[in-house]
Structure 1
Amino acid sequence: MSSSYSKPTTIAKVNDAILGCFSAFPLSEFLDHLVRFLGTYGGSDKLFAVVEYIFKVAIPLLNKRAELQKRAGLRKVAISATATRFSKLASLISDSRTLWRFWGLFTIIRWMISLERNSQPTRNLLNIERLQGWSMLGYYPLEHLSYLVSHDVLPSKSTVNLSPFLAKKQNIHLNSGSLGVWSVRCWAFYVALQFAHLREDRKLLQAKYRSLRKIGLKPAEMQELRQQWDAYWSGLVVNMANFPLALHWSMGSTLIKNDFTVTFLNLIVAVISFRSGWKATALPSSPTSPVQQQPEEIVEPVGAEKSVAYDV
């Protein structure tokens, strides 16, 4: 009788050992955090941005190593096969990130509606964010048009009748390069306004510190203030890296002569943005900032994504 139960018991043990092998792994707070972070559009985009620009920074270094090895007679060609693969993957990531930004316009519209229905700390901050919202209403459609025209989804030339009362049709020419430049000029306006936004943030944090100091800073309040200052400095560094990029692309990619400098600035933005997003999704939730900040999805898509040099 005991032998009749030994077989299913043995099979059950084998099943548990093989199919249930994950029972040997402990619950991971890091894995929970990673899934929570990458489960958002902003989180996955930040990770892909870091990967993209790490590859783009590595490509010229790998090619330089291959060139030195060829001179030393260690290889036949001066081009790294790994760098070529990195380049292809980085290009795919960049293209995918641009495609997924098509939903960004809806976030902007929702944010601008929210601005008018929620009180802001200061009138200056309200007007700054209003202008930033309008700049993004220009950025996204222009970038979308540029992307679709460059991929031949939309024709660059078409003939349409602009008015039912006019028999004459008008020729419309869409240049993907010009559309891209004008889209990034809208983003450049956003970046310039962000310096004014950060100045208002700094004033509010300083005022909060002075008021708390009068009544005595508690440990919890001190920790909250540190987190808010950390977010402020991270935002400042990101914007300082974005500003020369915005000027560069607004001028048709002619300002910064060294492509590696452009890529490295993008990498700085990507890494710091990833760090900020990771902290924002940590548990317990970060304290609410005294400033009504823009939603993360608005700031992130206009960060270091303009990896394509537009020609006017």
Structure 2
Amino acid sequence: MADSSALPLPPPPSPHALSVRARERVVAAAAAADPLLAKLQRGLTATPAALDLNLMTTQYGLQFLSELLLRVRLLPHPAAAALSSAIPTRLRTFASLISDIRTFNRLWGTLALLRWGVATLEHPPADCVLRAIATCQVLANLCFQPMENAAYLGGHSVLPLSKRTVGKLWTYSSRLWAVHVILELVRLAREYGLARRAAKAKAVAVAAATANEKDITDMAVTDDTEAQSAVAARTLWARQLIVNAAYFPMTIHWSLESAPLLSDLAIGLLGTIAGGTRLIPLWRSA
């Protein structure tokens, strides 16, 4: 029997074969990563609103973190003392840069507000209170945006405005934003009242239909769909309430010309809550 050690070894793969295999692995890895990249693209930059929401949450999150780190450094602990002061400063600088970018992007926001006004005129809410709220919100925002634009451009010396004028514009634009937020809270309260009234009317209708078996069967068919719609509406309502409840003290803070109402830590926390509450469903649906 021949010695197996004398059998010839298979030739090594050629450089061309190795390059083909490497390319196939790279292509397979890229194909596997493409769904994740698509989700990131949809969640981050699919629309201007999505981009601004991601930037907003990052901005206030960095501000909150930087202020938190500054406070940690003041604790009487060796690990806290070892924390470099450069980290909070750099985080805050990055947050300020993001804020500037967001304000710059809103220079063209009047176009979207005008479209909102047209849509409100064409399809106004059926309820007279909600219709009045929507009209006032459109008007407040149409005044807010040019003021913010002028303040931003004046602060960057694009418009020949004094520092005092720029400060006034920032204050009055913040007050108009506060008007919008207050009207949002009023709208939510009105929608809550209307929803409760509709629920009571539905309960009366169900009670009246108990005498007719066919009516009960017909109503049961739509109960599941209506229940799902009701849950979605309540979730949206609660989310909007959280967002505007977080916005409200921020708008009052920037509307005051006297001493500030909130600390930078509180502003960072409230802004993160407002942004994150809206960002979570955006990423879930991306």
> How would you bin the TM-score normalised by the shorter chain?
0.7 to 0.9
Which aligned pairs between 1:132-171 and structure 2 lie closer than 5 A? 132-156=137-161
User: Where does structure 1 lack aligned partners over 5 or more consecutive residues?
Assistant: 158-172, 284-312
How many residue pairs are counted as aligned between the two chains? Answer: 259
CA contact (8 A) 1:191 1:239 kept: yes
Q: Is 1:98 equivalent to 2:88 in the alignment?
A: no
Contact 2:43 2:282 in 1 (8 A): yes
**What is the identity, as a one-letter code, of the residue corresponding to 2:239?**
S
Cα deviations across residues 72-105 of structure 1 (Å, max 9, x unaligned)?
49858x8522112111111111110111111211
2:242 is matched by which residue type in structure 1?
Answer: V
Q: Output the amino acid matched with 1:222.
A: A
Q: In the alignment, which residue of structure 2 is the partner of 1:44?
A: 51
From 176, 185, 210, the equivalent of 1:186 is 176
Report the Cα distance in structure 1 between the residues aligned to 2:34 and 2:84, rounded to whole angstroms.
Answer: 45
Provide the rounded CA distance (Å) in 1 between the counterparts of 2:15 and 2:37: 37
- Whichever residue aligns with residue 201 of structure 1, its letter is E
Structure 1 residue 175, shift from structure 2 partner: 1.4
CA distance in 1, matches of 2:243, 2:81: 40
- 1:197: Cα distance to partner? 1.1
1:59 partnered with 2:66: yes
- Determine which of 173, 184, 188 is the counterpart of 1:198: 188
TM-score by length of 1: 0.73
1: CA distance, partners of 2:267 / 2:18 = 62
Q: What residue identity is the alignment partner of 2:109?
A: G
Amino acid at match of 1:123: C
2:22 equivalent in structure 1: 14
Structure-2 change in CA distance of 1:237 and 1:14 (3 Å):
closer
Matches within 5 A, 1:259-278: 259-278=264-283
| Counterpart contact for 2:171–2:255, Cα < 8 Å | yes
Q: How far off is 1:238 after superposition? A: 1.5
Alpha-carbon distance in 2 for matches of 1:79, 1:8: 52
After superposition, residues 1-312 of structure 1 pair within 5 angstroms as 10-23=18-31, 25=32, 28=35, 32-38=38-44, 39-68=46-75, 72=78, 80-156=85-161, 175-210=165-200, 214=206, 215-216=219-220, 218-252=223-257, 254-278=259-283, 282=285
Structure 1 residues 18 and 236: CA distance shift in structure 2, 3 A: closer
CA pair 256-88 structure 1, distance change in 2 beyond 3 A? same
Q: Which amino acid aligns with 1:16?
A: E
Q: 1:81 to 1:109 in 2, by over 3 A?
A: same
Q: Distance in 2 between matches of 1:48 and 1:192?
A: 24
Distance 1:110 1:177, change over 3 A: same
User: What does residue 213 of structure 2 align with?
Assistant: none
Give the 3 Å change call, closer, same or farther, for CA 9–227 of structure 1 in structure 2: same
Q: Structure 1 stretch 256-265 or stretch 212-221: which is displaced more? A: 212-221
* Identity fraction in percent: 26
- Counterparts of 1:218 and 1:31, CA distance in 2: 39
- Helix, strand or coil for the counterpart of 1:175? helix
Q: CA deviation at 1:112?
A: 0.6
Deviation at 1:11, TM superposition (A): 3.8
TM-score (norm 2): 0.79
Amino acid at match of 2:150: L
Greater helix fraction, Structure 1 or Structure 2 = 2
- Computing the radius of gyration from Cα coordinates, the structure with the larger value is 2
Deviations 1:198-250 (A, max 9, x none): 12322343344445553346223212211110110111121122222222211
Mapped to 2, the partners of 1:201 and 1:20 lie a distance apart of: 51
Give the distance between the partners of 2:241 and 2:262, measured in 1 at CA: 24
Q: CA deviation at 1:156?
A: 1.6
Which 4+ runs in 1 deviate beyond 4 A? 6-10, 30-33, 71-76, 210-213
Quote the Cα distance in structure 1 between the aligned partners of 2:74 and 2:155: 33
Instruction: Tell me, in whole angstroms, the C-alpha distance in 2 between the residues paired with 1:54 and 1:212.
Output: 43
- Measured against aligned partners, the alpha-carbon deviations of 1:87-140 in whole angstroms (never above 9, x if no partner) come to 111111111011111121111100111111124221221111011000001110
Q: Which runs of 5+ in 2 are unaligned?
A: 1-10, 207-218
**Change in CA separation of 1:117 and 1:13 when aligned onto 2, cut-off 3 Å:** same
